Amino acid sequence: MKSILILTDFSKSATNAIHYAMRFFESESCVFYLMHVHKAGTFISDDLMTSPTENIYESFTKEPKRRLKTLINDLKKMYPNPKHFYEVIVDFDVFTDAVKQAINQHSIDYVVIGSNGQTGAAEVIFGSNTINVIRQVFCKTLVVPAGYDYKPISNFLLPLQSDDTIENEELGVINNFVNTFKLKLHVLRVGKKDDITQNLADDQDKLKDFDCTYATEEEATFYEAVTNYLKTNTIDMTGLIVHDKSFIQRLFTESPTIELSKVIKLPLMIFHSGKN
């Protein structure tokens, strides 16, 4: 049984990601942990005066717990699935610290989080919490764009830059993912000609057992190559391997105009190098 951590701040984007997850994992036996992290310093004196018998923690977690339980009841009605079970988590901590603790405590397989889907700085497009999860939380993470309606997933793109190598551990994670969800894998290797030549044999050897379409792109930046591939191929989800210098950082460095509409409109499955 898979353990899925769904992060929510009760925004439209977060709620949309929850509904996406219900559909995406509908064939899997899952425990969904719906988690709200209460920001430090956001409670006010009224929160502490709700009842003289309550301690501080109880007073500021009561309302988020109520909202999460109401949400779960609604989900059970909308998606009656005997394979799905639900738990509530409310924490009061630094956001990424709370997420990491939940992952360790509940042996989480996937994190699900929504993005803002706007244009502008990275934190505006994804939301600062989403960016921090991508960069700091070493768990497979599904990022769902704001307003994205669920569509069956068939084709999955994994773009690789010249310094990206598919290690055996990552290969096992990706293999398990595409097999579980019955996906056709597309791998796009981007880089200078010499770099591509150097990686080509290793890529082909490691991908030989996949139902895989393999392509290379020499005459474009990483951002341009990805967006062009999405324009010319039917892709339902993009997978990214995040290293110390992540795809997100490279994407924004190479694209100062932040024309990310094509990328951001698709769900992103984040893998972390050697950490999944």
Q: For residue range 89-126, list pLDDT tens digits in order.
A: 998 888 889 999 999 999 999 999 998 655 444 545 56
Report the DSSP pairing between strands 268-272 and 141-144: antiparallel
At 233-260, the pLDDT tens digits run 999 999 888 775 555 565 555 544 344 4
Amino acid at 238: T
| Amino acid present at 213 | T
* Class (C level, CATH) for 155-266: alpha beta
Mean pLDDT of the chain: 82
Decide which of 252 and 225 is more confident.
225
Contact 127, 138 (CB under 8 A): no
Residue 251 confidence (pLDDT) = 56
Contact status, residue 167 vs residue 270, Cβ threshold 8 Å: no
Cα dihedral across residues 27, 28, 29, 31: positive or negative: negative
**Average pLDDT for 70-91:** 96
How far is the CA of 190 from the CAs of 21, 27, 39, 115, 179, in angstroms? 30, 34, 40, 26, 25
> Dmax of the chain from CA atoms?
70
For range 56-69, the mean pLDDT: 81
Pairwise CA distance, residues 178 & 195, whole Å: 26
Domain 2-144 is of which CATH architecture?
A: 3-Layer(aba) Sandwich (3.40)
For the cut 50, the answer to whether the pLDDT of residue 67 exceeds it is yes
In the chain, CATH 3.40.50.620 covers 2-144, 155-266
Q: What is the pTM of this model?
A: 0.85
CA-nearest of 35, 10, 23 to 78 is: 23
Residue 19 has pLDDT above 90, yes or no: yes
